[in-house]
Amino acid sequence: MTQIKDPILELIDATVVVNQGTLNEKIILDHVNFKMQAGDFVTVLGSNGAGKSTFLNVIAGSLPLTTGQILVNGQDVTKLNEIKRTHLIARVFQDPKMGTAPRMTVSENLLLAKRRGQRHRLTSRKLTSQVQNQFKTLLDQMGNGLGQRLNVATGDLSGGQRQALSFVMATITKPAVLLLDEHTAALDPKTSAQLLKVTDERIKADKLTALMITHNLEDALSYGNRLIIINAGQIEFEAKDQSKNKLTLNDLLEHFKRY
């Protein structure tokens, strides 16, 4: 008998209505039911305005649900705001400037990230050589010279290095759920491909549970064990494991023709 594992993330009838009671009232997340098991890596597709960021926003807690529930590791986090969810959920945005403090050095930013969700996280900026070495090892894995720039102000990094740092910061505490919001979209093709490769390696190595929004259909096919398409605030299509592996670019293009 196969054992059914408890989900890491669960959305139950998750709904967001904006401008309620006005002429502009609109359902932007429409009774979404969704579960992720440990190690699931879901690529998220959808046209502009489909509701992809809304989906990630409600999971992160930056947008409250109007009705419904969100559970992480079985804990009801529906009423917790974004800050109170940071020990469970980490996010990397499209803009390399988000998520890092420009005047702080690379290692100071990493130290803050390492202490995320802990009390007294601002007590000291001092780094032991052990922690410094740990940071260097992590950054060297990014393969873009970041490991040589531990004492450089983050604002002086290239966009690609800064985005790689944001990714390391988001994953350093092995969050229960990792949200990637088009995190490679602002990078040139080579840098983007490199960050995607290490993203995939880290998700697999640490068995992270991750959602990645992308507009790149090939990336959505190449990465992850699940793929979803959001339209009008609903999950309209889902493919998993073998059925995802069988999907082709043409299948996705056909799907998008309907919108």
Ligand X SMILES: Nc1ncnc2c1ncn2[C@@H]1O[C@H](COP(=O)(O)OP(=O)(O)OP(=O)(O)O)[C@@H](O)[C@H]1O
Q: Which residues are 18's β-sheet partners?
A: 26
| d(C-alpha 148, C-alpha 139), whole Å | 8
**Cβ at position 212, least distance to ligand X in Å:** 13
x/- binding map, residues 9-38, to ligand X, per CB under 6 A? ---------x---------x----------
Residue nearer to ligand X on the CB measure, 21 or 74: 21
Candidates 9, 14, 32, 50; binder of ligand X (CB under 6 A) is: 50
The residue count for binding ligand X (CB under 6 A) is 10
Q: Is 52 in the site for ligand X (CB under 6 A)?
A: yes
* Residue 49 interacts with ligand X (CB under 6 A): yes or no: yes
Q: Are 68 and 10 in contact (CB under 8 A)?
A: no
The answer to whether 234 contacts ligand X (rule: CB under 6 A) is no
Tokens of 257: 């023709």
Q: Which stretch binds ligand X (CB under 6 A): 43-51, 70-78, 163-171, 250-258?
A: 43-51
Residues from 116 through 155 that contact ligand X (CB under 6 A): none
Tokens 């998520």 label which residue?
99
- Specify the residue, 205 or 253, whose C-beta has the smaller distance to ligand X: 253
Quick one: which segment of 49-57, 84-92, 161-169, 172-180 binds ligand X (CB under 6 A)?
49-57
Strands (DSSP E) found in 19-97 = 26-36, 41-45, 67-72, 75-76, 89-92
Q: How far apart are CA 158 and CA 191, in angstroms?
A: 11
Bridge-based pairing state of the strands 177-181 and 210-213? parallel
Which residue, 113 or 233, is less far from ligand X as judged by CB? 233
Q: Smaller CB distance to ligand X: residue 154 or 214?
A: 214
For 65-84, give the DSSP string: -SEEEEEETTEE-TT--TGG
Which amino acid, 137?
A: T
Question: Using the rule CB under 6 A, is 175 a contact of ligand X?
Answer: no
Please, are residues 16 and 58 in contact by the beta-carbon 8 Å criterion? Answer: yes
Per CB under 6 A, which region of 46-54, 81-89, 155-163, 164-172 contacts ligand X? 46-54
Residue 54 near ligand X by CB under 6 A? yes
Distance CA 182, CA 73 (A): 25
- Give the nearer residue to ligand X in terms of CB position, either 42 or 113: 42
Among 50-58, 116-124, 157-165, 250-258, the segment contacting ligand X (CB under 6 A): 50-58
Q: CA-CA distance, 141 to 147, in Å (whole number)?
A: 8
Part in contact with ligand X (CB under 6 A); list of ranges 51-59, 108-116, 141-149, 152-160: 51-59
d(CA 226, CA 243): 9
* Shortest CB 258 distance to ligand X, Å: 16
The residues, ordered by sequence, that sit 6+ positions from 23 with a Cβ below 8 Å of its Cβ are none
What is the binding site for ligand X (CB under 6 A)? 18, 28, 46, 48-54
